[in-house]
Amino acid sequence: MGAQYGAVCVASRLLLKKGGVSTADKVAEGEVDTYGSTAPRSVGDGLTPDHIPSFAAVKESLRQMGVELTDAELKALRNNANCVIVKTCSHMTESRTFGGRNNSEKVRLDGSNLYKAAEADIDTWVPVWKSEGWSASKIENTRKELHEANEKLFQEIGIKYESK
């Protein structure tokens, strides 16, 4: 773990000890929903939404189709893209697409097959979730929810999302 991520993890734990956010509508670890729905509810609580597949891959998929979006359209797409709620520290240290781990080659490949990219993202999370005490059924339900939400979203905007 890089020093910068370690410091953020310590700060995150300190916020949790202080009580974090005091809203009744907090996110829950493992929750699947859009970024726009989850991000405002996961401030200062040690949890964060992780786009699956990465938002960069979704943008790349559109670019490969010849679709260029305005800044407003990109913001709307980001807010409507699907995420799973994970521990902030785990997101920074374990996600296959966090920060510099989501390089241009990975984005290009992931953008060419969003289903495969989502599977790779989820498969990276499985051992982490197991080590954090998630049950096998919770992991499989999260996988299923993510794929169903992505299939619906991508069908609505004309992006291919299938296991083939």
Class of residue 116 by CB neighbours under 10 A (exposed 0-12, middle 13-18, buried 19+) = middle
What are the tens digits of pLDDT across the range 118-154? Answer: 999 999 999 999 999 999 999 999 999 999 999 999 9
What was the pLDDT predicted at 15?
A: 41
Please tell me the predicted confidence (pLDDT) of residue 100.
Answer: 87
Question: Which distant-in-sequence residues (6+ apart) come within 8 Å of 146 by Cβ?
Answer: 32, 52, 82, 84, 118, 122
pLDDT at 162: 86
Residue 73 lies in a domain: yes
* Position 65 in a domain: yes
pLDDT for the residue numbered 8: 40
According to the model, what pLDDT value does residue 78 have? 96
Residue 119 within a domain: yes
Please check whether residue 164 lies inside any domain of the structure. no
- Model pLDDT for residues 33-65, shown as the tens digit of each residue: 999 999 999 998 999 999 999 999 999 999 999
State which residues form the domain around 121.
Answer: 3-157
CA distance 68 to 46: 34
**Residue 83 lies inside a defined structural domain of this protein:** yes
Look at residue 104 and tell me whether its pLDDT is greater than 80: yes
Average pLDDT, rounded, for the chain = 87
- Give the number of domains in the chain: 1
Is the model's pLDDT at 2 over the cut of 60? no
| Any domain includes 163 | no
Please indicate, yes or no, if residue 16 is contained in any of the structural domains.
yes
Kindly state whether residue 45 falls inside one of the protein's structural domains. Answer: yes
